[in-house]
Amino acid sequence: MNYTFQLKNIEEYKEAYQKSVTDPEVFWETIAREFRWMKPWDKGLNWRFEGEGAPVIEWFKGGKLNITENCLDRHLQTIPDQPALIWEPNNPDEHYRILTYRQLHQKVIAFANVLKNNGVKKGERVCIYMGMIPESPIAMLACARIGAIHSVIFGGFSAQSIADRIKDGNAKFVITCDGSFRAKKTIPLKSIVDDALVQCPSVERVIVLTRTRTPVSMIKGRDVWWEDELKKVETMGNPDCPAEEMDAEDPLFILYTSGSTGNPKGVVHTTAGYMIYTAYTFLNVFNYQPEEVFFCTADIGWITGHSYIVYGPLAVGATTLMFEGVPTYPDAGRFWEIIEKHKVNIFYTSPTAIRSLMAQGESFVENKDLSSLRVLGSVGEPINEEAWHLYYKNIGKSRCPIVDTWWQTENGGIMISTIATVTEHKPAFATLPLPGIQPAIMDPEGREITTPEAKGNLCIKFPWPGMLRTTWGDHQRCYDTYFSAYPGTYFTGDGCLRDANGYYRITGRVDDVLNVSGHRLGTAEIENVINKHTNVVESAVVGFPHPIKGQGIYAYIITEKEILQEDASLAIADIHETISRIIGPIAKPDKIQFVKDLPKTRSGKIMRRILRKIAEGEMNNIGDTSTLLNPEIVENIKKGKMN
């Protein structure tokens, strides 16, 4: 399909950016008209602050649509037999699957009817805890078809993390699998869900897909098999499922993300603005061309999977590829084999994956045919220069532009990035803001730094269609987290610098949030779990540079009973097990140091700045310790630092 808003050169970018800043409402309305609406909107943008609360942000209010009509139905008229989704399984010996737009549409319709038959109604929340299989996006799209709000939970999270999310959203329905495959492991998803549901009386129905044939407990009256429910729909003659009419500002999904407090927050994205922004950014950033194969390696449970495996590509009629396994199974050449096998044109992955695969040596990529590649992408964390050059040379063969994309769960889609074949790349720089995005760099006093070269905290001055609207059930938290630090602007929580050419480089988090392998983890959340351990009195968690993950987790822990050196490994294993059970293995600290005390001010505040410096190895650059209640503890911690 041809879209008039696809940028072709730098002149068109500059013209579009200027229009988006001088008249943002008209700019986005023009783009919105290229999609299918049941009823046109009343007003392009409604934006206002109301006292000490999160702003009211409404795009295309009064307009009626359904995102699945734009992702599926309208393509049936033009590209019904084009592959919509290619699925590559964990085990390379298992056959891959291809679903055309016609087939994907049929499967979404069928499962939407399953949901309706099981009592799911418009506006209700449905938690999805599945592996990376085609049924995951089918479940998401089926929810959207009937107006239910989906909440996808990353398949690596624990039972407690699932329970917290179900309870926060007051979800009545869960969709899961008997299990999932990850390299040589089988993850018992249904069993983990069962453990979570002990705490969740709100759940009325659990729909279970067969994937691994793992033995499961099926509770009468609550648990049903996906396959059995589909057969019931088939006996009804495969009825149609007309798309539910949704207001532009109706919630599409909740996605939980870690913050600077202990509890994950449910970021809410709405229907029209999110759809338009993901479609616009996908088409432009990657310079997507008809019939190309786009391979995003993210998990469905994160925002990247939502926006650039499912909604963005499908909204513009692209072919999207999803992969069930890990990049190192059965060996470190798996990504490159998939690219060769399916003739992938655009490859989008994380710097962590690039660094870890390059560390395995070049032999895994040398004999692979990567000639189909045209564009490379990086997502999740800032990419360092060494990884950038390895990616450009070894994977792109020095001919594929790299789009280094910066954005967040709350943003909905890419905000600052190179635009393939349009803007010039610069190693380790996200480069330029996309049309519609108005960045501002703030100094510590909250003033915008307007000089060409600048360094400070990154804010966004004006709303864009894909931004979050609230945090589920707690609008005040949305204000406190994103809009209170710099009134009138959205605070990203990231620091950045701008060079003389106006290129932006993200320098990392400036709050108590870690970016580990592209995944955000709140330090308070990890500390709260560590402190639950029976022998722990207090803990402090900070980040430190990690050669593969970008940022690692360093935990300083005070114990009730002294940990002897010969018992330290068992104590660390116990703490790791506690974290794995309550949050998930992804949050396990890379280094744990047992300490007698933590550096604190006289008011009792832990000086994490000092702990961060020690973790980073900057022993001689600790700064002033005279204001500490216990300055002598700093030397003790430095002596015991983990290498």
Grade residue 328 by pLDDT with cuts at 50, 70 and 90.
very high
Grade residue 186 by pLDDT with cuts at 50, 70 and 90.
very high
Of 491, 501, 413, 421, residue with least CA distance to 458: 491
Please indicate whether residue 465 or residue 597 has the higher confidence score (pLDDT).
465
pLDDT one-digit tens code per residue, 582-593: 888 889 999 999
Whether the bond between 330 and the residue before it is cis, its omega within 30 degrees of 0, is: yes
Looking at residue 560, its pLDDT comes to 85
pLDDT one-digit tens code per residue, 42-57: 999 999 877 666 788 9
358 pLDDT above the threshold of 90? no
Highest mean pLDDT among 22-36, 541-555, 604-618: 22-36
pLDDT one-digit tens code per residue, 151-185: 999 988 899 999 999 999 999 999 999 999 999 99
CB–CB of 294/321 below 8 Å? yes
Whole-number Å distance between alpha carbons of 632 and 388? 42
Strand residue runs (E) in 372-464: 375-378, 402-404, 439-442, 454-460
3-class state of residue 296 by DSSP: strand
The total of other beta-carbon atoms located within 10 Å of residue 628's CB is 16
Looking at residue 150, its pLDDT comes to 98
Average pLDDT over residues 104-129: 98
Cβ neighbourhood burial of 219 (10 Å; 0-12, 13-18, 19+): exposed
Please indicate whether residue 536 or residue 121 has the higher confidence score (pLDDT).
121
Which single residue is written with the structure tokens 């329970």?
163
Average pLDDT over residues 24-43: 97
75 pLDDT above the threshold of 80? yes
Residue type, 305: G
pLDDT one-digit tens code per residue, 131-150: 999 999 999 999 999 999 99
Grade residue 510 by pLDDT with cuts at 50, 70 and 90.
confident
Residue type, 511: D
3-class state of residue 339 by DSSP: helix
**What letter would DSSP give residue 248?**
T
532 pLDDT above the threshold of 90? no
Order across the sheet with 490-498: list the strands. 439-442, 454-460, 490-498, 504-509
Whole-number Å distance between alpha carbons of 314 and 361? 35
Looking at residue 360, its pLDDT comes to 87
Which single residue is written with the structure tokens 């630090």?
485
Of 332, 371, 339, residue with least CA distance to 354: 332
Task: Report the share of the chain in percent with pLDDT over 90.
Answer: 74
Whole-number Å distance between alpha carbons of 69 and 79? 14
Looking at residue 259, its pLDDT comes to 61
Of 563, 630, 619, residue with least CA distance to 592: 563
The total of other beta-carbon atoms located within 10 Å of residue 424's CB is 12
3-class state of residue 300 by DSSP: coil
Tokens of 4: 């008039």
Strand residue runs (E) in 75-209: 83-88, 97-100, 125-129, 149-152, 173-177, 180-182, 185-187, 205-209
Average pLDDT over residues 205-231: 97
Tokens of 306: 């939502």
Whole-number Å distance between alpha carbons of 338 and 332? 12
Grade residue 210 by pLDDT with cuts at 50, 70 and 90.
very high
Looking at residue 461, its pLDDT comes to 94
Tokens of 153: 């939970």
Looking at residue 531, its pLDDT comes to 87
Looking at residue 239, its pLDDT comes to 87
The total of other beta-carbon atoms located within 10 Å of residue 361's CB is 10
Which single residue is written with the structure tokens 């600052």?
416
Which of 319-323, 350-354, 410-414, 623-627 shows the lowest per-residue confidence on average (mean pLDDT)?
623-627
99 pLDDT above the threshold of 90? yes
DSSP for 406-453, written as a single string: B--GGGSS--B---TTTS---TT--BSBPTT--EEEE-TTS-B--SSS
Average pLDDT over residues 391-406: 96
The upper half-sphere exposure of residue 310, i.e. CA atoms within 13 Å in the direction of its Cβ, equals: 29
Task: Report the share of the chain in percent with pLDDT over 70.
Answer: 98
Grade residue 260 by pLDDT with cuts at 50, 70 and 90.
low
Average pLDDT over residues 291-298: 97
261 pLDDT above the threshold of 60? no
Which single residue is written with the structure tokens 């067969």?
210
Largest CA distance in the chain: 78
Sign of CA dihedral 155, 157, 163, 167: negative
Angle at 98 between CA 97 and CA 103, to 5 degrees: 120
Please indicate whether residue 312 or residue 622 has the higher confidence score (pLDDT).
312
602 pLDDT above the threshold of 80? no
Tokens of 208: 């279970």
CB–CB of 67/271 below 8 Å? yes
Tokens of 447: 């003033």
Q: Which helix (H) or strand (E) holds 164?
A: helix 159-169
262 pLDDT above the threshold of 70? no
Residue type, 600: K
Whole-number Å distance between alpha carbons of 1 and 280? 13
Cβ neighbourhood burial of 388 (10 Å; 0-12, 13-18, 19+): buried
Please indicate whether residue 238 or residue 477 has the higher confidence score (pLDDT).
477
What pairing do the DSSP bridges indicate for beta strands 56-61 and 504-509?
unpaired
571 pLDDT above the threshold of 70? yes
For residue 166, what are the CA distances in angstroms to 120, 131, 203, 222?
15, 18, 8, 16
Q: Phi-psi category of 344—alpha, beta or left, where left has phi over 0 and alpha has psi -120 to 50?
A: beta
Looking at residue 641, its pLDDT comes to 82
For helices 189-197 and 159-169, what crossing angle results, to 10°? 60
Grade residue 255 by pLDDT with cuts at 50, 70 and 90.
very high
Grade residue 515 by pLDDT with cuts at 50, 70 and 90.
confident
Which of 166-170, 309-313, 637-641 shows the lowest per-residue confidence on average (mean pLDDT)?
637-641
**Residue ranges of domains in the chain, CATH in brackets:** 513-639 (3.30.300.30)
What's the whole-number average pLDDT of the chain? 93
Looking at residue 253, its pLDDT comes to 98
Sign of CA dihedral 84, 88, 89, 93: positive
Looking at residue 445, its pLDDT comes to 87
Angle at 1 between CA 142 and CA 24, to 5 degrees: 85
Q: Where are the alpha helices (DSSP H) in 236-350?
A: 271-285, 303-305, 312-315, 334-342
Looking at residue 59, its pLDDT comes to 97
Which single residue is written with the structure tokens 């069930």?
324
Q: Which helix (H) or strand (E) holds 516?
A: strand 513-516
Looking at residue 355, its pLDDT comes to 87
Of 536, 581, 526, 538, residue with least CA distance to 563: 536
For residue 568, what are the CA distances in angstroms to 533, 561, 576?
15, 12, 12
Which single residue is written with the structure tokens 């239910």?
148
426 pLDDT above the threshold of 60? yes
